[in-house]
Structure 1
Amino acid sequence: MTDERHANRGLPTKDLHGPEHDLERRKRILRTARITLIAIGVILCLGLLRILVLYLLNISSLADRAEQNNVMYVQVVSASSGKPDANMTLPSTVESYNVTLVYARTPGYVKEWFKDIGTPVKQGDVLAILETPELNKQVEEAQATFNLSKVVYERWKLLRQEDAVSQQELDEKTSAYKQATANFQRIKELLKFGKIVAPFDGIVSRRNVNVGDLVNSGNGGSAQALFGVSQLKNLHTYVYVPQTRSGSVTIGQEVKIFKPEAPDKIVKGKIAHTAGVIDVGTRTLQVDIRIPDEQSFFLPGSFVEVSLPLDNQDRLVLPTNTLMFGSAGPQVAVVQEGKALRKSVSLGVNYGRSIEITGGLEAGEQVIVNPVDSIANGQLVSVVVPAPPVETAKPATQSPK
């Protein structure tokens, strides 16, 4: 039955199960395996290539991100010359040319006082009267001594005319008489100091006594001032100009004087005198500024600020928020070719929000505003231009119907 099936197909049985048939079969199997291995190798290579490409892309992205994170975004200002009309403002105190404390010239008790604080006085007006019981006793004693020495002198003078005493004895009595006279006059003059009077026209600025107070003479030890008297005219003020700006001060120069609480009320004064020398302790020049008498805004003792005009054309000025202070002294950070560079600078006059730079910086350099203390040389920086302020729209107003 098998032979019939093979016979029908035209294939002999020996051809179906011979060595040639097995060889062909192995070749097909090897070819299939080779193709499979090649396909697997290609897939592995493609996978490795993909991993390598992703790795390289990731490294490049990380490098770009690290470079972006390392860049510091900053705002800058240009170092420029100061304005010609720059002013230097210095603190000061209004003073009177004539101001004094009045002391007692003799000890005693306050019997009565007549002038209180704020009272205008004229020269010679009585401020208070003292009771001086001890001094009164001294006057009585001095007068008794004077009367006795006078009688003795006149008696010995008559005796000398009769040649009853020697000239030496008369001279001694004469000297005693003169000493008693001088002492009596001195004690009587001290009695006048029982009246405390104003030394000049002005106003009473202080009263430190009451009725019954015991006062001592002089201004040393336990003595205390009885009154203070000041003039409301002839006011002036002292300012101390730094040595670097002393060349800008000239006698007769006009300055502006104002109170910090009222900067819009300005009184114009003039420089009357300068010390002419630099104080070795403070390295400043003392300047005396006269305040006009017609003003009534300033009182003696007022704290004021004086604005002096300065020639500031050739001096660099920077905002104070560009400075860094450390062990190396004052420094600024400038931008050069996209990198930060720290520079040490020398400072001049401080104008408040700005300060003068006297050395270490060139005009036109870009200086970083509000630099961090940790900024280092070579730090990558990117200059950011601040956006202009946005104007808010005003609500439309409706016209009244």
Structure 2
Amino acid sequence: MKTKIFSTAILTTGFAIITAIYGCGNSESKVESKKEKEVTIATFNLQKEKLSTSLTLPGELIALQQVDLYAKVSSFVKVLKVDIGSEVTKGQLLMTLEAPEMTSQVAAAQSKLKAQEAIYTASKANYNRLYETSKTPGTISTNDLDQAMARKNSDLAQLDAAKASVKEVGSIQDYLTIRAPFTGIISARNVNLGAYVGPSGKGSDLPLFTLQDQKNLRLAVSIPEVYTGYLKAGDEITFTVKSLPSQVFTAKVKRLSGALDLRLRSERIEMDVANNTKSLLPGMVAEVNIPLPANASTFIVPKKALLDTSEGFYVLKVENNKTLKVAVKKGRETDDKVELFGDLKEGDQLVAIPTEEMHDGTVIKP
């Protein structure tokens, strides 16, 4: 009997201890939960600012003028006056070609012209005699006079055709001399003495010469669509090249295409670059630094305030101590700030460092 009473007392005491421990643990959990709900979240008020940034893009230096020179007629190279690196002036003789059959064509055309001149002289003299005789009534019929006039006019037309033929052959013969169309430097030569050249077939695969104006270059850059509204003619840019990394060159925007390339979705702009020292070469790749001035005040926030998710970019706005996700689009950015566009207004309270665990309706204490 004493043993049963002792066991019941032990069980009762154990149950009381467990209840006390459980109650103590539950109380501590409530306190910790309450403390978690009272964690303060850093926020800031959204303001508009002017953000001036710069954009670095690759560009290409090309000659202001460049032309590939080909042969107009089938011929052979007779004389070469220049080579790679030769500086030439406008109109300077570069090459003389030889086409033996051209001499025969010129002689034939001139002979035909002389024969036609003789025919026209005879028909004109015949018409003049008939015309003078016809002044005496009844001597020459009107039909004979008309026939003589028609013959004279026909021979005159043939004479004009012969003259045009001589001029045409002479023009073609002028193609046997290759001259520089502008002042520049010969950057390529693809023929040697005696080589066969022509307008088609073998000998025309490559140009005879490539002529470049290397004292004046173009710097061509493709500007992405999002930045096209920041540049205009006259804006100054800077650039560097790999061969002269310590030297900074400047140029001004000269030409804008005014349209987007359908493949790259970018606008091509060009700057003129003076190259009197010839330190820059056509074909060089330049690293172009393009300033993007602030045209108007926009919403600027720290980069840490932007939430980058698989669904897009968001910021967390605080309303009545609850978070609200707002979808935004990025604009320009610097090392620590970014330009935003979205359903926002000046003075909105945003979470300074949001996390993906924060969803719509998360209760916070700003």
Give the TM-score taking structure 1 as reference length: 0.65
> Share of identical aligned residues, percent?
24
Per-residue CA deviation, residues 103-152 of structure 1 (Å, 9 max, x unaligned), is 22222233343433332211122333222234333223323322322332
Measured after TM superposition, the shift of residue 300 of structure 1 is: 2.3
Is this contact kept in 2: 1:256–1:308, CA < 8 A? yes
More moved, 99-108 vs 343-352: 343-352
RMSD: 4.6
Tell me, yes or no, if the aligned pair for 1:122 and 1:202 is still in contact at 8 Å: yes
The structure 2 residue matched to 1:133, chosen from 100, 110, 124, is 100
Give the CA deviation at 1:269: 1.4
Q: 1:324: which partner in 2?
A: 308
Give yes or no for contact 2:325–2:360 (8 Å, CA) kept in 1: no
Cα shift at 1:218: 8.1
Gaps of 5+ in 2: 35-41, 131-143
Residue-by-residue CA offset, 1:260-284 (whole Å, 9 max, x unaligned)? 6755421121233445x45485776
Match in the other structure for 2:340: 357
Matches of 1:210 and 1:311, distance apart in 2 = 54
- Pairing of 1:170-319 with structure 2 (within 5 A): 170-217=152-199, 224-241=206-223, 245-259=227-241, 264-275=246-257, 277-279=258-260, 281=262, 286-294=268-276, 296-312=278-294, 314-315=297-298, 316=300, 319=303
Does residue 38 (structure 1) correspond to residue 5 (structure 2)? The answer is yes
Tell which structure's C-alpha radius of gyration is larger: 1
Greater alpha carbon shift after TM alignment, 238-247 vs 87-96? 238-247
Partner of 2:331: 348
Question: Are 1:167 and 2:141 an aligned pair?
Answer: no
How far the C-alpha of 1:314 sits from its partner, in A, is 2.7
1:218/1:323 CA distance change after superposition, 3 Å: farther
Q: What displacement does 1:201 show?
A: 0.7
1:104 is aligned, of 71, 81, 86, to 71
What amino acid maps onto 2:175 in structure 1?
Answer: F
1:157 aligns with 2:124: yes
Q: Secondary structure at the match of 2:274?
A: coil
- 1:79–1:318 contact (8 Å) kept in structure 2: no
* Structure 2 equivalent of residue 3 of structure 1: none
For residues 287 and 139 of structure 1, the distance between their equivalents in structure 2, rounded to whole angstroms, comes to 50
Gaps of 5+ in 1: 1-32, 68-74, 383-401
- In structure 2, how many angstroms separate the alpha carbons of the residues matched to 1:298 and 1:351? 31
Mapped to 2, the partners of 1:58 and 1:123 lie a distance apart of 98
How far has the Cα of 1:231 moved from its partner?
Answer: 0.8
Does structure 1 retain, via aligned residues, the 8 Å contact 2:53–2:334? no
Instruction: Sort the Cα spacing of 1:351 and 1:110 in 2 relative to 1 into closer, same or farther, 3 A.
Output: farther
In structure 1, the partner of 2:38 is none
3-state SS, counterpart of residue 104 of structure 1: coil
Q: How many residues align?
A: 336
2:138 counterpart residue number: none
